Structure 1
Amino acid sequence: MSREPLAERLAAEIRSRGPISASTFIAAALYDPDEGFYTRDESTGRAGRRGDFLTAPEVGPLFGAVIANALDAWWTEAGEPDEWVVREIGAGPGTLARAVLAADPLCHRGGALRLELVEISDAQRSMHPTGPVVASISPGPEPDGPCDVIIANELLDNLPFDIVECSADGWREVLVNFENGCFVECLGELLPDVFGIEAETADRLPVLRIAGEWIRAQRAVGARLIAFDYAAPTRVLSKRGTGWLRTFHGHGAGSNWLDEPGSQDITTDLAAEQIVAAADTPRSTTQAAFLRAYGVDGLVEEGRVRWKAGAAVGGLAALSGRSRIREAETLLDPTGMGGFTVFEWPPFLSPGGPWLASR
C-alpha cells in the first residue's frame, strides 16, 4: 500500500500537533525513506558532474590521491598496524574510495587498508567499488564498530538543523507551519541567548544540535575524525540573513527551502563555534592548508612534468598530468573549496581512553 506524498504527510502532522521544527522538516525532506532527496531514487541527491552538486572528490582524482598520502602518514604514525580501517560516512557513489585505491597508498600495498563506505542511498551504494578491501554499508542508528579513521566530506552541512531568529525581545526558534496550501515560517517561543554575540532584529543562525550529537557519537568510536565542510564564525553567519542556508538542484541553486520537500538539497554553512564545542576541541585549518600539508603541491608538480613531457603527442599520462593542474586550481581556491574548513579530532589509544600523540 503506497503512502501519502511527503508534503501531505508533513502538512497533516502540522495540522495535528502544530508547527514543527526546521530540523523535523529538513530530516523528512532529505531522508524520508520514500521521498527524501537522498533516498528516493538515483535521479536526485547524487554528487558529481551529472548530479546535483560537486564535492572535492568529484573534481577529479587529485583529492583522493592527497587523502591516500594522509592515510599513509596516519598509518605510519600509528605504528603500521596489520589492519587499517578507514570509514567514509556519506560516501555517495564511492568516488573518493576509487581515487584512494587508484593512488595505491603504502597501507594498501602492505595489505592493511580496509575501506568501509557508509551511505544511506541504495542507488549510490550500488555504485560503490567492490573488492576484498571494500565494504559497502547502510548506516544504522549507532556507529558501525571500531575503526582507525573516520572521514566525513561535506556531511555535517547536510545533517538536519534548526533555525533561530533575533526578534525585538530576543532569540526565537523558526518553526514550519502550513497555511493556505503552503509551508511557511513562523516564530516560536523566546529562547535563552546562548550565542553571546551582538545581534540585530532579523539576524538568523543555524542550530547544529544533530551535527553535535553525530560528532559525539563518532568520537566514542575512538578513531581519528576528519570533517571537511564550509564553516564560518557565528557572528559572520548572523549577518548573512538567510545566505548561510542553501538549496541545490541540478548543479544550480534551488528554490525556497520550504518548497516541494524532497525535491532539492538543503544545506547550511556550519557555525564553527558549535562544531568546536560539540566534543573535545579539534584542530582546524583550511582545506587548502590541509591538502598542502599532505603533498598536493608535489602531486601537481608530477602532473606538470608529465604534461610537459607528453603535451606534443598527447596520451593518457599527459592528459592526467594536465588534469591535476586544473583540479588543484579548484581545490585550492581560497574563495571556494580551498577556503573550506577541515576539523580534525585525534584518535584515542582506545575508545573512551586517553589521546594518542598527534603529529
Structure 2
Amino acid sequence: MTAIGWRLAMQAALYGSGGFFVRPSGAPAEHFRTSVHASPLFAGALLRVIERLDAALGRPKTFDLVDVGAGRGELLTTVRTLLPGDLAERVRMVAVEVAPRPDGLDRAIRWRRDVPENITGLLVATEWLDNVPLDIVDADEEGRHRKVLVDRATGTETLGAPADPADLFWMSRWWPGPGRVEIGWPRDTAWADAVDSIRRGAALCVDYGHRRDERPPLGTLTGFRDGRQVPPVPDGSCDVTAHVAMDAVAAAVGTPYTLVRQRDALKALGIDGARPPLDLARTDPAAYLRALAAAGSAAELIDPAGLGSHWWLFHSIGVPSETMLL
C-alpha cells in the first residue's frame, strides 16, 4: 500500500468507510475512558456551568446545549436527567457526531453530523479535538522539515515531501525547535469554526494537551484499543489520537478565554474528592457508602496524573466571562 500523510491516514482510519468512529458495532467508550464515562459528577459540574450561563443570558426561551464529538450521547443523556424543571423545558440538546444515531437514544436529543448555526447557549467538546486529523513533520538528516508518511496497513513511517508553507508558518509560532512536530492548524480551524456558530453563550473544550513551552519533542501520536494503549496503526481497528496544542487552539478563536487544568476547574465547581466524615458511617451507613463512592469518582476526575491533568478551554461570547466558569 502506498504511504500517505498522517492527516489523510487519520481521516480514513477514524471517519472513512468502516472507520473507528463510524462503524455501527462497538462504542468508543469500550476502548478508552473519558471524564464523561468516568463519573456522572462530570455532568453535574457541567450542569453548574449551564445554570450560570443560563442566568447570564437572561434565561432565554431556548437554551442550546451542543455536544461536539458526542460519542453515543452519554453526556447529554446524563445531563438531561439532572436538569431542573424550568431549565429542562427550555434546553434544546444537539449531539454532533459522524456515527449513526444510537438505538434507544432519547428522542429529545437531536442528532446531526455538523455544528448547528446561531447557537444561544453552550457548545461543549469533550476529547474531540485530539481526534481531528493532523499531519506530522520531522527533520531529515540535513535538517529539512518534511512530512511524515505512513503505511495504513502496517503503521510504517517514511519521510516524504517538504513541509507545506502553512505547516512551516504554524510551526514557527507554535512549535519551534527540533523534533517531531504535530501540525495543529487543522484543530485550530475546527475549533474556531465551531465557536463561530455561537451567537451568544459560551464554548468549552475539554481535552488532553500541552502549551508552547512544554511541547513533547517526540510528539504524542498513539492508539487505543480495548482500554489499552497500542501503536497508532491507521487501519481503522483502533483510536488514533494526538494531544492538542491548547494555546494555539485558544488563540485561533480571537476572543477572551480561560485555560485551566480540569482539577482546578472541577474544584471551583464543587468537586474536591474529599472523603466523608467517619461520623456519618455511624449515624447513616448507607449515606456514608454513597458519599464514599462519590469521593472515589471525584478523585479520578481530579487526579493530577490522570483526568485531572486535562485542560478546560472556555470562551464566552456576548456575556461576561467572569460570571461563567470560575
For the aligned pair, the TM-score class normalised by the smaller chain equals 0.7 to 0.9
**Per the alignment, do residues 306 and 275 of structure 1 end up closer, same or farther by CA in structure 2, a change over 3 Å counting?**
farther
Amino acid at match of 2:21: Y
Q: How does 1:285-304 map to 2 (within 5 A)?
A: 285-297=260-272, 304=276
1:58 to 28, 37, 41: 37
1:102 to 69, 77, 81: 81
Q: Specify the alignment match of 2:202 in structure 1.
A: 224
Amino acid at match of 1:233: R
SS at match of 2:223: strand
Q: CA offsets per residue over residues 144-163 of structure 1, 9 Å max, x none?
A: 22222100000000111111
Q: C-alpha displacement at 1:319, in angstroms?
A: 4.2
2:211 to 224, 233, 236: 233
CA contact (8 A) 2:146 2:159 kept: no
User: Structure 2: how far apart are the matches of 1:185 and 1:311?
Assistant: 66
Q: Specify the alignment match of 2:298 in structure 1.
A: 328
Amino acid at match of 2:306: G
**Per the alignment, do residues 340 and 187 of structure 1 end up closer, same or farther by CA in structure 2, a change over 3 Å counting?**
same
Q: C-alpha displacement at 1:232, in angstroms?
A: 0.7
1:29 to 13, 18, 24: 13
CA contact (8 A) 1:164 1:207 kept: yes
Q: TM-score, normalised by structure 1?
A: 0.78
CA contact (8 A) 1:93 1:127 kept: no
2:188 to 179, 195, 212: 212
Higher relative contact order (CA 8 A, sep 6+): 2
Q: Specify the alignment match of 1:166 in structure 2.
A: 139
Give percent identity, aligned residues only.
22
Amino acid at match of 2:23: R
Is 1:112 matched up with 2:85? no
Unaligned runs of 5+ in 1: 1-10, 349-355
SS at match of 1:125: coil
User: Structure 2: how far apart are the matches of 1:64 and 1:224?
Assistant: 16
Amino acid at match of 1:145: E
**Per the alignment, do residues 311 and 103 of structure 1 end up closer, same or farther by CA in structure 2, a change over 3 Å counting?**
farther
Is 1:254 matched up with 2:236? no
Q: Specify the alignment match of 2:49 in structure 1.
A: 70
Q: Specify the alignment match of 1:138 in structure 2.
A: 112
Q: C-alpha displacement at 1:198, in angstroms?
A: 5.3
Q: C-alpha displacement at 1:175, in angstroms?
A: 2.1
Q: Specify the alignment match of 1:42 in structure 2.
A: 25
Is 1:175 matched up with 2:114? no
Amino acid at match of 2:64: V
**Per the alignment, do residues 305 and 245 of structure 1 end up closer, same or farther by CA in structure 2, a change over 3 Å counting?**
same
Q: C-alpha displacement at 1:69, in angstroms?
A: 0.9
2:102 to 125, 142, 157: 125
Is 1:308 matched up with 2:280? yes
**Per the alignment, do residues 237 and 338 of structure 1 end up closer, same or farther by CA in structure 2, a change over 3 Å counting?**
same
CA contact (8 A) 2:94 2:112 kept: no
